[in-house]
Amino acid sequence: MARKINLRIWRGDATDGGLQDVQVEANEGEVVLDVIHRVQATQIGDLAVRWNCKAGKCGSCSMEINGKPRLACMTQVASYGDDETITVTPLRAFPVIKDLVTDVSFNYKKAMEIPAFEPPKDLKPGAARMQQVDVERSQEFRKCIECFLCQDTCHVIRDHEENKKSFAGPRFFIRIAELDMHPLDMLKNRKRTAQEEHGLGMCNITKCCTEVCPEHIKITDNAIIPMKERVVDIKYDPARIFAGLLKREKRN
Amino acid sequence: MTTDKSTLERYKYDVLVIGAGGAGLRAAVEARELGLRVAIICKSLFGKAHTVMAEGGAAASMGNANSNDNWQVHFRDTMRGGKFLNHFRMAELHAKESPDRIWELEMWGALFDRTKEGKISQRNFGGHEYPRLAHVGDRTGLELIRTMQQKIVALQQADKREHGEYESHIKVFSELTITEILKENGKIAGAYGYWRESGSEVLFEAPAVIIATGGVGKTFKITSNSWEGTGDGHALALKAGANLVDMEFLQFHPTGMVWPPSVRGILVTESVRGEGGILTNTNGERFMFKYIPDVFKDKYADNEAEADRWYEDQDNNRRPPELLPRDEVARAINSEVKAGRGTEHGGVFLDVSKRLSAEIIKKRLPSMWHQFYELAGVDITKEPMEVGPTCHYVMGGVEVEPDTAAAVGVPGLYAAGEVAGGMHGSNRLGGNSLSDLLVFGRRAGMGAAAYVKQTTAAPVSEATVAAAAARIEAPFARSGGENSYSLHAELQEVTHNLVGIIRTGDELKDAIAKIADIRKRSANVAVSGGRKFNPGFHLAFDLDNMLLVAESTAKSAIGREESRGGHTRDDFPGMDSGWRQYNHISSFDGNQVSVRKQALPFMPKELFDLFEVEELKKYMTPDEVAKGGSN
């Protein structure tokens, strides 16, 4: 059964923009992306929205719906009240390109800065043996669909453009954790560089990222907190500090 | 806004890879490792390509779950699945090389599910004799894409160390659409396109172009494909003078979601059946036992008791008929619904809740659980899913040389993955797509690298650039013309109703006329708004591609007077061994698509001898069987 709903869409670009009200039909079972597409096909032909799979698997249609970072393809229209206006706006943490589309290139730059997977030098293809229980820890993080909702909601960068330079964000903390827990990865000091180069220390574990993750990855509990704890162990371990001093003495 | 020739954005690369799904990324990695400078073009953001939707797994006869498996068994299964219309050489290369391609991904950081011994776990799938699909839960495609995306980043990091810049040798151009492949003196010279974000135009000069654009699903109304599946590569290749082979063969995946309407067509992975899901109609009947075709009678159980035993003991029982190749299952569901035994939404029931515990379902099929719970309000650990056929995959595609992936007839052009034809014959087995794109993506990279090293590309002439630019500008210059959204919807109605899962000669004739009419009107598409991220403008170009693909499919389908794999003719219901000897070749003269028959290459003796003669008699003419393979 079709009904009319009130949709308020942010329209504009980097220079100027504002909210525009439209009325649009919504059918049973439809998601917010469906009604945005209907507006596009029948009222605003050049309305910009990014999307791909429409099944919650690619992480393209990230936007803010009534102020909350969400995937438009996984948000039921029926989850809002009959008379409620649904307001859709672009991700706030990233620069707007046009309408609901933002420039998320920040994330791809950060991805380049995380040191890649490093397999054992002598490992032959097909020879790896790993237990399911050992791969599952990293598999949880590899479920990430790179929707960047966690990046968007993270208050370290949401309203603090200046922090972007030194902060990789939750998406890349789980990438580092994934590699750190990867049974075959040989690169050392991943936790330490997470702290020293990628801004792990700036996170004060408010768990906002975990809350918005459409894949229900426990970003804070399973990636960030364990890394923070280990970093503390490494940095403030008296034995290591002593060993470090000895080394320095030797060098001198 | 007309592009000023002096400010036109221009790039020079050794090879241009169009498409950043599995095949494109694998090709790019190979070309880079062979020393080429590579540009990767993606229509969407990096890492979002349709490969992420692949759920079940990648087929490779590693023999981890059953040591009887080997490339010969995989080859036989692939040929049977394709009803022997496959290019034998592609099926052979694919079966031989896929294990290496999977192990290679592991060396790049992929984390597949494991067996008890710690090897890569392999699962059952339709048409595969042994458990063969390497997988990660039901998100295997995402693992492939992410692994290769991260491999590319790793190569970029190595380039930064060596050359001082991440993007010195591989650059990803995200959200860029290619509108034309450019040639000079009959050879590839580059490609032309526009940034989706700004609408401004870009010229790439390169001696080799690898097309890896995936499928054509958006030509149809009910499809599992995302917006990107608009047949761009198929159309670009046709326009560049390449051929398409066997475009009549489309795979309707038997299990797409049917309810609610907004998710109609979204894929329900075959793993649900591989893990023990059964299909029933509204009478509660497990109907697949009625639909086992003669050619498969000795491989599939004809009673429930044996089918159920197979999950525990695969050596002494035949497989459940739910695991027949996809074309058979899709037709069976279609028949049940037509006979009035379907659900009110036009589907049948698929139930995994009776065989597996809730815990195991959530572990093995996590995205399916998620998808049904959040989009349809159905808990698949307790209730059955409603499913029906959805347009999923095109077997037809660019005619290529199997070993190099070179497009026949166009020097410098390569194609790999779904956009290439021949590998899967008339029907693809589940799991053979992810392995296909790894095997032939790599081969396309190798083929292009070998070609680039022995050729010099002519520069793209200014006249060629001006013509390409004029075509992009045209829809903006019109006013009051046709709306691209409405024309697309019209095309989808025509293909759905007249070129769909069951076809007849009269309907196809009607479809060809209607497609021609839409194409005529599409020449008058007008675009509102500016160039900046304007979906109406983008669709105008996608539509042009879809129309060419639809024309090729309808014209190939009307010619093939038999039913085989992903092509079912109500007026010619039988499989005809005479027709097995021919491929359909589509070509384009700038005005319309024409289709001709071409003899299918015949298997050499060593491959022929892998089969029992009795089996080959079901597919081949007596003369062919007597000949016993070519030399």
Reported as a single tens digit per residue, the pLDDT across B454-468 is 998 889 999 999 999
pLDDT of residue B10: 97
Q: Does residue B219 contact residue B234 with C-beta atoms inside 8 Å?
A: no
pLDDT in tens, B310-351: 988 988 999 999 999 888 999 999 999 989 999 998 899 999
The residue of chain B with its CA nearest to that of A52 is B226
3-class SS shares of chain B: helix, strand, coil, % to 5: 40, 20, 40
Answer yes or no: is A252 within a domain. Answer: no
Q: Cβ(B30)–Cβ(B441) under 8 Å?
A: yes
Residue B152 lies in a domain: yes
Cis status of the peptide bond prior to B321, with omega within 30 of 0: no
Confidence of residue B530 (pLDDT cuts 50, 70, 90): confident
Q: How buried is residue B103: exposed, middle or buried, by Cβ count under 10 Å (0-12/13-18/19+)?
A: buried
In this prediction, residues B564-587 reach a mean pLDDT of 96
Burial of B184 from C-beta contacts in 10 A (0-12 / 13-18 / 19+): middle
Q: Is residue B202 within 8 Å of residue B193, measured between CB atoms?
A: yes
Question: Where is B140: in which H helix or E strand?
Answer: helix B140-163
A216-248 burial, b at 16+ Cβ within 10 Å, e below that, comes to: ebbbbebbbbbbbebbeeeeeeeeeeeeeeeee
* pLDDT computed for residue A246 by the predictor: 66
User: CB within 8 A of A224, min separation 6: which ones?
Assistant: A170, A173, A177, A200, A203, A205
CA distance A244 to chain B (A): 29
Q: Give the one of A40, A47, A143 whose C-beta lies nearest to B139's C-beta.
A: A143
CA dihedral for A165, A166, A170, A175, sign (positive or negative): positive
Are B316 and B421 contained in the same domain? Answer: no
Annotation marks residue B567 as catalytic = no
The answer on A118 and A230 residing in a single domain is yes
Question: Quick one: what percent of chain B has pLDDT higher than 90?
Answer: 84
Catalytic residue among B32, B132, B253, B318: B253
Q: B529-566: string of b/e by CB count within 10 Å (b at 16+)?
A: bebbbbbbbbbbbbbbbbbbbbbbbbbbbbbbebbbbb
Tokens of B134: 């390497």
Per-residue pLDDT at B480 exceeds 60? yes
Q: Where do the H-state alpha helices sit in B40-139?
A: 71-81, 88-107
Same domain, A67 and A140: no
Mean pLDDT of chain B: 94
Clarify whether residues A190 and A225 are in a common domain: yes
Q: What is the 3-state secondary structure (H, E, C) of B381-435?
A: CCCCEEEEEEEEEECCEECECCCCCEECCCCCEEECHHHECCCCCCCCCCCHHHH
- Give yes or no for residue B50 having a pLDDT over 90: yes
Residues of A in contact with B166 (CB under 8 A): 112
Q: Can you tell me which residue has the tokens 């007596």?
A: B622
DSSP state of B267: B
- Average pLDDT rounded to a whole number, residues B598-619: 95
B621 occurs within a structural domain: no
What pLDDT score does B61 carry?
98
Quick one: B52 and B192 in the same domain?
Answer: yes
Which residues in B lie closer than 8 A to residue A142 (C-beta atoms)?
111, 136, 142-143, 146
Residue A40 to residue B106, Cβ atoms within 8 A: no
A38 exposed, middle or buried (CB, 10 Å; 0-12, 13-18, 19+)? Answer: middle
Total domains in chain B come to: 3
A-chain CB neighbours of B143 within 8 Å are 142
Q: What was the pLDDT predicted at A252?
A: 41
What pTM was computed for the model? Answer: 0.94
Distance CA A40, CA B517 (A): 25
For the segment B204-222, what is each residue's pLDDT rounded down to a tens digit?
999 999 999 999 999 999 9
Across the range B280-301, mean pLDDT stands at 94
CATH number of the domain bearing residue A25: 3.10.20.30
Tell whether B178 and B153 lie within a shared domain. Answer: yes
- Give the CATH number of the domain where residue B226 resides: 3.50.50.60
- The answer to whether the Cβ–Cβ distance between B259 and A101 falls below 8 Å is no
What's the pLDDT score for residue B478? 85
* Inside any domain, residue A245: no
Q: CA B92, CA B86: separation in Å to the nearest integer?
A: 10
Kindly state whether residue B520 falls inside one of the protein's structural domains.
Answer: yes
CA distance B321 to B496: 27
Q: In the beta sheet, which residues pair with residue A7?
A: A22, A86
Chain A environment of B177 (Cβ under 8 Å): none
Domain that holds residue A28: 3-102
Asked whether residue A13 is domain-assigned, the answer is: yes
Q: With an 8 Å Cβ cutoff, are B157 and A112 in contact?
A: yes
Q: Which of A102, A129, A163 is the last residue of a domain?
A: A102
Q: Which of A52, A63, A151 to mutate to test the interface with B (most CBs of B within 10 A)?
A: A52
CA distance A27 to B282: 26
B21 CB neighbours in chain A (<8 A) are none
**What is the mean pLDDT of the segment spanning B469-485?**
88
Residue A34 has its nearest CB partner, among B137, B262, B370, at: B262
Q: Are residues B19 and B89 in the same domain?
A: yes
In a domain, A251, yes or no: no
CA A4 to chain centre: 33
Tell me the pairing of strands B170-173 and B38-41: parallel
Residue B195 placed within a domain: yes
**Residue A202 and residue A140 share a domain:** yes
Nearest-by-Cβ selection for B262 from A30, A135, A144 = A30
Structure tokens at A53: 């799979």
Tell whether the model's pLDDT for residue B136 goes beyond 70: yes
Q: Please state the ipTM of this predicted complex.
A: 0.93
- Sites in chain A below the pLDDT cut of 70: 1, 237, 240-241, 243-252
What total number of domains does chain A contain? Answer: 2
Residues A78, A149 within the same domain: no
Residue type at B151?
K
CA distance A181 to chain B (A): 11
Residue B631 is predicted with a pLDDT of 61
